[in-house]
C-alpha cells in the first residue's frame, strides 16, 4: 500500500493541484463555477472502485452514490435524495448501476456469513439468491456463483430504479435518463455492459397511475394528481 501515512494524502493533493494548474491555469476556476454532470453512478463502496479512474472521467462528470453492494434501496433516504437531485435538478442523461466481481457484500449474501449490520443491509440480495438458487447452484465454482449473483444483483437494482417515484415521474414526463447495468471485473479492470433491457418498465411506468387515469376517463372526472 503506497499511502500509509495520512500526511501523504495532503502532500499528494498539493502535487496534483500543481500538475492540474500547469496544464490549465483555469482548471479550478472552471470547476468552481458549478456542476452539470451527465452521469449518476451508483456503485459499491469497495475502495477498489473509483469509477473516475476506470473511465478516465474528470471531477464534475460523475454524480456519485455508493453503498455496500451497490443497492437501489427504496427505503434509503440518502440514496433517494441523491436520485431526486440527480434527475430533477442536475438532469443527468444516464444512470449507471455498476456492480463488481469479488464483492464482499455479495459473498455475505450468498454464503450467509454473519458480520453484523451488513447482514441486514445485504438481505435483499440474499432474497435474490434464494429466488435464483437453482440457476446459481448449477454453476460449478464458487467464483462463478458469486459472479452470477453480482450480475443478478445489478439487474435487480436497475429494476428497483424504475420503482422509485422520481423515476416514474420522469418517465411520465418523458425526461427519464437512460439506465445502464454494468459489472466491473477487478481482475482485468474491464467493465462489462450487461445490456439489461429496461423497455418493459419504460412502457408501464406506473400501472396504478394508468388505472387511475382510465377510471377518471371512464367516469368523466378530472385526472388525479400524479402520485
Ligand atoms: Co462490493
Q: How many domains does the chain have?
A: 1
Instruction: Decide if 45 contacts 78 (C-beta within 8 A).
Output: no
Question: Is residue 27 included in any domain, yes or no?
Answer: no
Q: Is 175 within a domain?
A: yes
pLDDT at 114: 77
Identify which of 2, 58, 4, 63 has the alpha carbon closest to the alpha carbon of residue 30: 58
Neighbours of ion ligand 1 (CB under 5 A): 44, 46, 103, 105
23 within a domain of the structure (yes/no): no
Q: Which domain holds residue 46?
A: 35-222
Catalytic residue among 98, 103, 168, 206: 103
* Cell numbers at 213, concatenated: 387515469
**111 occurs within a structural domain:** yes
Q: Cell 445490456 belongs to which residue?
A: 195
* pLDDT for res 225: 54
Q: Catalytic pick from 8, 11, 24, 48?
A: 48
CA 115 – CA 130 distance, rounded (Å): 19
**How many angstroms separate the alpha carbon of residue 10 from the centre of ligand 1?**
27
Torsion sign, CA atoms 72, 74, 79, 83 = positive
Residue-level pLDDT at 113: 78
Full-model pTM: 0.87
Active site residue 206: no
Please say whether the beta carbons of 37 and 92 come within 8 A: yes
Cα of 70 vs centre of ligand 1, distance in Å, is 7
Q: Is residue 109 part of a domain?
A: yes
Residue 221 has a pLDDT of 59
Provide the pLDDT for residue 46.
96
pLDDT by 10s per residue, the chain, length 227? 688 899 999 999 999 999 999 999 999 999 999 999 999 999 999 999 999 999 999 999 999 999 999 999 999 999 999 999 999 999 999 999 999 999 999 999 999 877 799 999 999 999 999 999 999 999 999 999 999 999 999 999 999 999 999 999 999 999 999 999 999 999 999 999 999 988 877 765 455 665 666 666 667 655 555 54
* pLDDT score, position 223: 52
- Residue 44 is among the residues annotated as catalytic for this protein: yes
pLDDT of residue 43: 98
The reply to whether 22 falls in a domain is: no
Quick check: is 48 catalytic?
yes
Q: Please tell me the predicted confidence (pLDDT) of residue 209.
A: 60
* Within-domain flag for 168: yes
**Ligand 1 center to 81 CA (angstroms):** 22
Domain-located, residue 29? no
| CATH number reported for the structural domain that contains residue 40 in this entry | 3.40.1050.10
Amino acid at each position: 500500500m503506497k499511502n500509509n501515512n495520512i500526511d501523504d494524502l495532503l502532500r499528494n493533493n498539493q502535487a496534483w493541484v500543481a500538475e492540474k494548474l500547469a496544464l490549465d491555469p483555469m482548471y479550478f476556476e472552471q470547476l468552481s463555477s458549478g456542476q452539470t454532470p451527465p452521469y449518476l453512478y451508483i456503485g459499491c463502496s469497495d475502495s477498489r472502485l473509483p469509477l473516475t479512474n476506470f473511465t478516465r472521467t474528470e471531477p464534475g462528470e460523475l454524480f456519485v452514490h455508493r453503498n455496500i453492494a451497490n443497492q437501489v434501496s427504496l427505503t434509503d433516504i440518502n440514496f433517494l435524495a441523491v436520485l431526486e437531485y440527480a434527475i430533477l435538478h442536475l438532469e443527468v442523461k444516464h444512470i449507471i448501476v455498476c456492480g463488481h466481481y469479488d464483492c464482499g457484500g455479495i459473498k455475505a449474501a450468498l454464503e450467509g456469513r454473519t458480520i453484523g449490520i451488513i447482514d441486514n443491509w445485504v438481505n435483499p440480495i440474499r432474497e435474490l439468491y434464494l429466488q435464483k438458487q437453482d440457476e446459481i447452484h448449477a454453476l460449478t465454482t464458487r467464483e462463478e456463483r458469486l459472479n452470477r449473483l453480482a450480475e443478478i444483483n445489478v439487474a435487480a437494482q436497475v429494476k428497483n430504479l424504475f420503482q422509485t417515484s422520481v423515476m416514474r415521474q420522469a418517465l411520465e414526463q418523458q425526461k427519464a435518463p437512460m439506465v445502464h447495468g454494468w459489472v466491473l471485473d477487478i481482475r482485468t479492470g474491464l467493465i462489462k455492459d450487461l445490456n439489461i433491457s429496461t423497455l418493459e418498465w419504460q412502457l408501464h411506468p406506473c400501472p396504478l397511475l394508468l388505472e387511475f387515469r382510465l377510471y377518471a376517463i371512464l367516469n368523466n372526472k378530472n385526472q388525479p394528481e400524479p402520485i
